A and B are shown apart, each in its own frame.
Chain A
Amino acid sequence: MRLLVAVLAFGAGTAHAADAARGRALYESRCIGCHSIDANRVGPAHRGVFGRKAGTAKDYDYSPALRAATVVWDARSLERWLADPERLIPGQRMGYSVPDAADRADLVEYLRAESTRQRSGAT
């Protein structure tokens, strides 16, 4: 039992702390081919994605699957989306996924920061 507690404590101590700065660097190298924060390109703009219903970025031409989805983007749903988009919303068009959990957490933290920045800027 003592060993189990020690293992759990070690695990908690090494949990990944999401890093928005690293997420930004990952975004620049992996996502920028199709996405921008402020513009719809091959993929939709990401500014304000936190709290937004899937398939509703202004003026973006979504797949029928995304338009019909009921998912609202938050940290958990974005993490699941990045891990396996097709599993979360079958029929969607993004063939890209992010297999590493730490990378996903950092990307999500960056997107959260950008969404927060928008709200701050709007007030």
Chain B
Amino acid sequence: MNHSNIVVPARRRFLGTAGKATLSVAAIALLAGNEALAQSMSGTMQDVGILNVALGLEHEAINAYQLGAASGLLQKPVLDVAVLFQSHHQGHRDALIATIRKLGGTPVAEKPLDDYARALKADTLKSQADILELAARLELGATNAYLGVIPAFKDAGLAKVAGRLAADETMHWSILSSAMGKPMPMAALTFGA
């Protein structure tokens, strides 16, 4: 599947074809007195910055599920669900990388697995319940992060992408919470508040 065609609006696809020349075009536009064009280019790079933060979040999620899957603590069918969710995050990662490149940016690199293990305190995970708890915390955080950045995007198409990513994370959180026997939220508008 070509994710880039899903997430890159037509105008951005055009900008993306300029590749690394995008910033130079912005500078030229500014020098030429075309502030509107320069601001548009600046907005593109702001969007790229937000997408790169999202990519960092997806790298971490993929590695968190890897740590869980490789721990030996997850039993079927929870293990299968973890692997499925990891594949969703890999799909997010691939779409974000394609979009960032199309917009002329450089995707942030994945860190070594050990770095994620240290940051997430993987050595403290002693049971399936511990792993589910961590995964649910990260999924809820990701949901709220994606919802929270929607207003910051200059491009409405990218804002919609953030909404779609948030929907996936919400699905993950809901299933993980259910697996842990946690109650559903009683109030409306629980997420992104």
Closest to B149 in A: A95
Q: Contact flags (1/0) for B45-58 with A, using CB distance below 8 Å?
A: 01001101100110
The smallest beta-carbon distance between B176 and chain A, in angstroms, is 14
Closest to A99 in B: B151
What is the size, in residues, of chain A's interface with B at 8 Å between Cβ atoms?
20
Q: Contact flags (1/0) for A4-35 with B, using CB distance below 8 Å?
A: 00000000000000000000000011111110
Given contacts A33-B138, A94-B53, A95-B152, contact A42 B144 (CB under 8 A): no
A68 at the interface (CB under 8 A from B): no
Instruction: Give the residue of B60, B151, B153 whose beta carbon is less than 8 angstroms from that of A42.
Output: B60
Q: Kindly list the 3 A-B residue pairs having the minimum CB-CB distance in the complex, ordered from nearest.
A: A33-B141, A33-B145, A95-B152
Q: Are A39's CB and B138's CB within 8 A?
A: no
Q: Are B50's CB and A93's CB within 8 A?
A: yes
Q: Are A93's CB and B145's CB within 8 A?
A: no
Whole-angstrom distance between the alpha carbons of A32 and B144 in the complex? Answer: 9
Given contacts A36-B119, A86-B46, contact A96 B149 (CB under 8 A): yes
B163 at the interface (CB under 8 A from A): no
A56 at the interface (CB under 8 A from B): no
Q: Are A96's CB and B141's CB within 8 A?
A: no
Closest to B141 in A: A33
Q: Are A34's CB and B141's CB within 8 A?
A: yes
B98 at the interface (CB under 8 A from A): no
Given contacts A33-B145, A36-B119, A41-B119, contact A93 B52 (CB under 8 A): yes
Residues of B near A77 (CB, < 8 A) are none
Residues of A near B137 (CB, < 8 A) are 28, 32
Interface SS of chain B: helix
Given contacts A41-B60, A94-B53, A97-B152, contact A32 B121 (CB under 8 A): no
Q: How many contacting A-B pairs (Cβ < 8 A)?
A: 63
B140 at the interface (CB under 8 A from A): yes
Interface residues of B in 119-144 (CB under 8 A from A): 119-121, 137-138, 140-144
The smallest beta-carbon distance between A87 and chain B, in angstroms, is 12
Residues of B near A86 (CB, < 8 A) are 46, 152
Residues of A near B149 (CB, < 8 A) are 95-96
Question: Taking each of B141, B143, B152, which has the highest tally of chain A beta carbons within 10 Å of its own beta carbon?
Answer: B141
Q: Are B49's CB and A95's CB within 8 A?
A: yes
Q: Are A93's CB and B53's CB within 8 A?
A: yes
A40 at the interface (CB under 8 A from B): yes
Q: Are B140's CB and A32's CB within 8 A?
A: yes
Given contacts A39-B118, A41-B60, A97-B148, contact A30 B49 (CB under 8 A): no
Residues of B near A42 (CB, < 8 A) are 53, 56-57, 60
